[in-house]
A = this chain, B = another copy of it.
Amino acid sequence: MQTVFFDDTIELKMEKDITEILKRSQLSITGSRKKILELFQKSNGALAHADIESSTGEQYDRVTIYRTLQTFVEKGIIHTIPTADNSVRYALCKDECTEGHHHDNHVHFICDNCGATYCLENIIVPEVKLPGGFIQKQADVIVSGTCDKC
């Protein structure tokens, strides 16, 4: 968990962005959605259901979080990141993502020790040539090992 400080201007801008994103996806603006979206924006890594549950201080029902995440995935606001353990993690999509179509092609690093997920933005995922008949929708590179803090 990390604590991040923002000055008011940025807070306000962020709040506006969040509202914008929800509106664009034709979702009603509710407390839980704003809060969860805000969490994603503050964390530059990926979040699991449990992270969100604890970060919000059990303010929202577990089921609401499940449903909110599912809705966000369907609307192309967030996407799941493959992990080798069975924890599902989510990260914000880039603007290019549209409903049902994710084009998020940066490398994710998962620390075996502390479990943190990092998005290594500046590393570009190379093109993969698939055999005939295979149609690619998404590609992820998952590197695991020990992070710089462990």
Chain B CB within 8 A of A136 CB: yes
**In which size bucket is the chain A interface?**
35 or more
Indicate how many identical chains form the complex: 2
| Set of chain B residues within 8 Å of A133, measured between Cβ atoms | 147-149
The CA of A146 and the CA of B30, in the complex, are separated in Å by 35
Q: Which of A31-39, A50-58, A77-85 contacts B (4 or more CB under 8 A)?
A: A77-85
Given A123-B129, A128-B143, A145-B135: A84 and B81 interface contact (C-beta under 8 Å): yes
* 22 A–B contacts from the bound complex (CB under 8 Å): A79-B84, A80-B85, A86-B86, A86-B88, A112-B137, A120-B128, A123-B128, A125-B141, A128-B143, A130-B143, A133-B148, A133-B149, A134-B146, A135-B146, A136-B144, A137-B144, A137-B146, A138-B143, A138-B145, A139-B143, A140-B143, A142-B142
